[in-house]
Structure 1
Amino acid sequence: MPDQSGLSEAVLYVCTTCRASGDASTRTAGARLLTALRDQAADMAPELRVEGIPCLSVCKRPCTVAVASPGRWTYVYGDLDADASAATILAGIGLYAGTEDGIVPWRERPEAFRKGVVARIPPLASAQPDTDAS
């Protein structure tokens, strides 16, 4: 994994409600992905917080994760493989954590992130009065 200096500030949210089409497992694909990410993060990125959440409202593109960090853009990625994407996701999060603003150049992102990006959300601005308002 590249520069991991920002991993301790990053949070990887994993939708545990996500169910892949044709998924016959009793555990949702999202729950399986969460387990795989936690298991691999323990070795690859122990300082990364990996949290399961009930829904990211991207039901048509399971499995879905979001990565957020103070002062950085938040990204939401879908169409991830519950049983094979954990290492790819963690590598992508490592790239994200190595940036100042969370923006990894498109060509440097893992293919699953290039194809699966659902949203890019700007960093939360600190509360300051709007000086342009009348």
Structure 2
Amino acid sequence: MNAQPKPVFHVCQTCASGGQALHDALIELADPDLVAVESVRCLAACRQGCTATLSMPGKWSWLLGQLSPELAPDLLVYAQAYGRSASGTVMPSRRPDSLRDIILGRFPAQNPAAPAPQHAVPESVS
């Protein structure tokens, strides 16, 4: 098993427009050493369904919409490009044509938690 971080798709299972089918197609086609596929109950983008996210530690995360099971092979190509990108940004010209307009939003990478500042506690006056 590959110990390196890898891209993760979180696929909305509650999308009436094919969430479960997309999840199943990705699971069937994905190399688990290269990309992880997980399910989530809701991504709160119901009007843009079927939706998924693509994320990886230290990189931008992406909310993707208007997806279908037929896009699974292209999504996996996109995930490979995403994994190779230093920031997680894959320009539309570098994505398969079918994925040019799937981006609904992006979220900055989470930074490791910085230590909490130490505040001096005033001594009580008696």
TM-score of the two chains, using structure 2 as the length reference? 0.81
Deviations 1:76-104 (A, max 9, x none): 1100123x111011111111011111111
Q: CA RMSD in A?
A: 2.3
Q: Which amino acid aligns with 1:18?
A: C
How do 1:13-92 and structure 2 match up within 5 A?
13-20=10-17, 29-41=18-30, 45-47=31-33, 48-82=35-69, 84-92=70-78
Instruction: Name structure 2 gaps, 5 residues minimum.
Output: 118-126
Looking at CA atoms only, which structure, 1 or 2, has the larger radius of gyration? 2
Please, which runs of 5 or more residues in structure 1 have no aligned partner? 21-28
1:10 aligns with 2:11: no
Structure 1 residue runs of 4 or more that deviate by more than 4 Å after TM superposition:
none
The residue aligned with 2:102 is: 116
Number of residue pairs the alignment of both structures matches: 115
Give % identity: 31
Match of 1:37, SS state, is helix
| Higher RCO (CA-CA < 8 Å; seq separation 6+) | 1
CA distance in 1, matches of 2:56, 2:5: 9
Of 86, 94, 114, the match for 1:128:
114
Post-superposition offset of 1:129: 6.6
Residues 50 and 67 of structure 2 are in contact (CA less than 8 Å); yes or no, is this contact kept in structure 1?
Answer: yes
1:11 alignment partner AA: V
Relative to the length of structure 1, the TM-score reads: 0.77
